[in-house]
Chain A
Amino acid sequence: MLNAVNASLLLTSIRQPSCCVQLQFVRWRKPRWIPQAKTKLFKVPLKVRPPLEEQAERDMLLNRYGTMTKSLWTYQEGLSGIEDDHEGMLGSAVNVDAEIDSVIEANEKINAVVRARREKLDAEKWIKTEQEILQKKEELELQEHERLNLTEAEIKRQIERLASAIKVEDLDEVIEKALAQEIDYNFAVDTSGNIYAGRHNTGRISQAPKDPLTSVEPIVGS
C-alpha cells in the first residue's frame, strides 16, 4: 500500500516546467520527506567481517605499511634538509662529476637493454610485414592472371563472332543478294501467331514475328 503511495508521489514529483523547452526527469531516489519503508524499518544490514586470522593479517599489513611510509617520509625529509643546507650543497658539489658519470653509465646500460629489445621486436615486426607483402603480391599476380585469361577468352569469342560478319570486299555482293531476295510483308497474323498470306503475294513471306504477345496462348479462345 505504502509502495503504491510512494509510486504516486514519485509520479507527482516529475517536474514539467511550462517553458517552451520541455524538461522532464524522473527521480532516482525516494523523496527525502517520505519516511523509511516499514518493511525496511527493522532490517539491520548484515556486516560481513573477515575471519579473525585474516583481520589480523590485514591489521599487520596496514600497520607495517604505515610504519614504512612514515620512515620513508622522515628519511626523505632529512635528505631534503641536507639539500637545502648550503654546506651540504657544497659538499655534494665535489662529487658532481663522478655522479654524472655514474648516471650516464646507468643510462647507457638501460639504453642497451631497451635497444636490444626494440631491435628484436622490430625484426619480428619486419618478418611479419614481409610475409604480408609477399602474400599480397601473390594475390595480385593471381588476380592479374585471371584478368588476362578473361580478356583472352573475350577476344577469342569476338573473333569467332566476326568470322560470319560481312567484310568490306563482300559488301556489294551481299547487297545484291539481299536485293534479289524480295520479302513480302503483306500478310496477316492472328493472336496465336498463324500467318495468313494474301491472294496477291509476290515475294517470299517473312518468318512469323517473334513477339511475346503472339507467342503467348490467348486468354480468351479465338
Chain B
Amino acid sequence: MVRLDLFSQMAKVIVYPVSSSTGGGYLKRREKVIRLALKGCANRPFFHVVITNKWRPRDAPPYEQVGTYDPMPNEENQKLLSLNLERIRYWIGRGTTFSSPMEDLLGRIGFLPINPYAQRNAWKLRRAAAKELQEQLEKEKTAEGEKS
C-alpha cells in the first residue's frame, strides 16, 4: 500500500504575483500557517490562534488573530476554544495550512475531518486502559483465591 505524504498534499503551492525585481513566482518564505501562539504567564498557558508566516518566530506579530484556546479546564471542566471560522475559511481558500495541534483541535470540533494521528493516539490510550483494567481484574482474582 502506498503511503501518502500528508503535508506535501495539504500544502498548496500558490503563485502570488510578485514584482519582477524580487524574482517573482512562488516563495517558500511566504507560506502562511494557522497555528497556536503561546501567551499567558508562568503555570498558566493560554494560546492565540493566529495566521502567520510559517517561518516567523512564535511571538512575532501575526497577520491576523482568528481565535483563542484555553487549555486549562475551567470549573465546569471545559477547555474553551473560540474561533472565527469565517476568516479561517477565507484563509484556507488562500492556501493556508494548519499546524498539527490546530488540525487536531479542528478535527475534534468537526470543522476538519478527524486527524488520523489523533485517532491512533485514541486507540493507544484505549488499549492501555483495557490492559490496566484486565490487570486489575486478575489481581482481584488472585486476591480472592488466596482468601478462599
Q: Determine the chain A residues whose CB is within 8 A of the CB of B90 once the complex forms.
A: 80, 83
Q: Residues on B close to A: CB < 8 A?
A: 1-4, 6, 9-10, 12, 76, 89-90, 92-95, 112-116, 119-120
Could you say which residues of chain A place their CB within 8 Å of the CB of B9? Answer: 66, 69-70
A68 / chain B contacts, CB cutoff of 8 Å: 112-113
Chain B residues within an 8 Å CB radius of A64: 113
List the A side residues contacting B115 at CB < 8 Å.
65
Residue numbers in A under 8 Å from B116 (CB-CB): 58, 61-62, 65
Query: Does B112 lie within 8 Å of A69, measured CB to CB?
Result: yes
Q: Which residue of A lies closest to B94 (CB)?
A: A80
Given known contacts A64-B113, A66-B9, A69-B112, A56 and B95 CB-to-CB distance under 8 angstroms? no
The answer to whether B93 touches A77 (Cβ under 8 A) is: yes
Contact of B92 among A66, A72, A81, A83 (CB under 8 A): A72
Near B by CB (< 8 A), chain A positions 56-111 give: 56, 58-59, 61-66, 68-70, 72-73, 76-81, 83
| Chief secondary structure at chain B's binding surface | loop
Say whether A73 contacts B1, CB under 8 Å.
Answer: no
Contacting B at CB under 8 A, from A179-215, are none
A residues neighboring B (CB under 8 Å): 55-56, 58-59, 61-66, 68-70, 72-73, 76-81, 83, 121
Task: Closest B residue to A52 by CB, please name it.
Answer: B1
Contacts A59-B2, A61-B116, A69-B112 aside, 4 further interface pairs with beta carbons under 8 A come to A62-B4, A65-B113, A72-B92, A121-B76
Interface of A is mostly: helix
Whether the Cβ atoms of B113 and A69 lie closer than 8 Å is yes
- Could you list some 9 contacts between A and B, CB below 8 A? A58-B116, A58-B120, A65-B115, A65-B116, A70-B9, A77-B92, A78-B93, A80-B94, A83-B90
**A62 to chain B: which residues have CB within 8 Å?**
3-4, 6, 116
Q: Which residues of A contact B92 (CB under 8 A)?
A: 72-73, 76-77
Min distance, Cβ B11 to any Cβ of chain A, angstroms: 10
A72 to B4, CA, bound (A): 17
